[in-house]
Amino acid sequence: MTHNFNCRIYYEDTDAGGVVYYANYLKFAERARTELLRSYAINQEVLATKHDVLFVVRSAALELLRPAKLDDFLRIETEVIDVKAATIMLEQNIYLENTKLCNIKIKLVVINKKFRPIRLPEFLKKVFSKDGC
C-alpha cells in the first residue's frame, strides 16, 4: 500500500532561481514518513519514551528527475519495500500532478536511546508489513 502526503513549495524551499534546493526533497520525504506513522496512530515521541524505539536514516539515495518550483503542490508517495529484523527500506517518489520529480530510496535502522541497533518490535512489524502498509 502507498501512503500519500501533500506539500506546497514556499519561498524558503527554493534557491535564488526559484527552484527547490535539492536537500529540501529529503525534508519533504521526512515529513511524509512522519505522516505515514501518524496515519497508523504511531507517535515518534511515545515510541522513544515508552518503547525505547527510534528510527534513524542509515542511507538515502536521491535521484532528481525534474525541478519543483515556488508554489508547486507536490504529492509524496511512500511505500515500504522491505522489512528486516532491524531495518526498513522505503521508496519515496515526489510528484507534481502526474510527473515524477524525484525518487528517494531510504534505509532506516531501528535503534534504542543508547544508539544501538535493536529488533523491530512485533507491533511495528505488523504496521510495516505488506498487509499493514
User: What is the pTM assigned to this prediction?
Assistant: 0.92
The whole-number average pLDDT for the span 82-99 is 97
Q: Which domains does the chain have, with CATH numbers?
A: 2-128 (3.10.129.10)
pLDDT exceeds 70 at position 18:
yes
The predicted-structure confidence for 24-56, as pLDDT tens digits, reads as follows 999 999 999 999 999 999 999 999 999 999 999
SS (H, E, C) the chain: CEEEEEEECCHHHECCCCEECHHHHHHHHHHHHHHHHHHCCCCHHHHHHHHCCEEEEEEEEEEECCCCECCCEEEEEEEEEEECCCEEEEEEEEEECCEEEEEEEEEEEEECCCCCECCCCHHHHHHHCCCCC
* Catalytic residue IDs: 15
